[in-house]
A and B are shown apart, each in its own frame.
Chain A
Amino acid sequence: MSFEPKILGIACNWCTYTGADLAGTTRLQYPQNTRVVRVMCSSRINPSFIFRAFQLGADGVLVGGCHPGDCHYNTGNLYARRRLAVTKKILEFSGMEPGRFRVEWISASEGNKFAEVVREFTEQIRNLGPQTKFKIEK
């Protein structure tokens, strides 16, 4: 049986989630491996969410937020950018493949970009194979 990646997508309510909605309403096709969770802002994301997702069996984590400067709360994603950059470095130094975590800025009008990013990321995770390093052994 071929490997189907399990991806956690965390999307900001105002841009990426609406962008995903647009991708849906314009009937764009993209892989169904991403489970999207809606948060109110990308700065709502506690880095522990990401560590925890990997522990609970996610093969990849995709975070989507508004473009810098476009945040509904003015500065939320600017804080998130710094924070998630550190998260990425920590994952990398602990030995996790850097390709398993990705942050993208996708606005509400970029349904195409959302579909494109999900397609690309799913393919990337498929090539990396199952994530076993952080996963809790049952």
Chain B
Amino acid sequence: MATSFKQIEENLKNEARKLLEEGKVSLVLAYGRGYDEDHPVPFVARVVADVENMVFNEYCTANMARYLVRYPRGTKMAIAVKPADSRAVVQLIQEDKIKREDVILLGIPVIGMKNSKTGEVIDSKTTCGMYNPVLYDVLLGEEIHGQTVVSPYDVLAEYETMDKDARFAFWKKEFDKCIRCYACRKACPMCYCDPCFIDQNKPKWGDKSPQSHGNLMYHLTRFHHLAGRCIDCGECSRACPVDIPLYLFHKKVAKECEEMFGQAAGKSIQDKPVLVNFRVDDSDKILE
């Protein structure tokens, strides 16, 4: 049976307090109380007294790995990671954005997380559908076993069989909604480029006003930049104020990368990201 959220919160507080008291870390990335119970916010504890403000409940969906790259290299950090977040940390280590010895991962096995906007239970439909972190130093609850394993790519079937014109119409409709607030970019743990390609003026890759062609350019290129790196936390679509199902496209690209190159993102710190790697015997069939 899975450990209750209350129990995890208690364990998280104890662990964070211990780490800060011993001076092993200078900050702990976890969740704090928002304007009510159902809307927790990302929270950084720097002193022991901050620990009291930490919370953990079923609405703590934010991917805290997003905040790791904001601090100077070499900062000792502890981070609360859910399964998808731990994959993000692994991916960041692969890309040498952070060092393994600089982070302490407080792993949280979760089941039954909820989207605070809609109240829906988050499962393999919008995320990677894993229950246990792939990498952790301390586990704050019991590992979850015996759940039915559903492929996170099942949800794609409906869109893959769609006629290409219908699919274009679908994506055009979705992208036309985009107001270019860049919440997807801000929420994404893998989006750390400074400046982002869309903010460049020379060359100007795409229009910055929320028009259909600029939106298309921004989103397609973003999908490409996250190819083989997206760890499928689904945070982009939850952050989106106009509910564009960005996770669908990310899932599709992740699926293709896994099929073509035989490696999923963020599974092991020994791997290299697929697009900065190659095999001499990659088949030319992948280009057909």
Contacts and interface: CB of A to CB of B under 8 A. Distances in A.
Contact of A47 (B167, B221, B252, B276): B221
Chain A's interface size range is 20 to 34
A35 interface: no
Interface stretch (A3-11, A22-30, A80-88, A107-115): A80-88
Interface of A: 47-48, 51-52, 55, 68-69, 75, 78-79, 81-90, 92-97, 103, 105, 133-134, 136-137
Interface residues of B, number: 41
B275 A94 contact: no
A51 B216 CA distance: 9
B83 interface: no
Label chain A's interface by main secondary structure: helix
A88 B278 contact: no
Contacts of A87: 224
B161 to A, nearest CB: 12
A92 B277 CA distance: 23
Interface in B246-288: 249, 252-253, 256-257, 260-261, 274-280, 282, 284, 286-287
Label chain B's interface by main secondary structure: helix
Interface of B: 159-160, 164-172, 197, 205-206, 213, 216-217, 220-221, 223-224, 227-228, 249, 252-253, 256-257, 260-261, 274-280, 282, 284, 286-287
A84 B275 CA distance: 10
Given A81-B278, A81-B282, A86-B275, A103 B287 contact: yes
A68 B284 contact: yes
Contacts of A133: 168
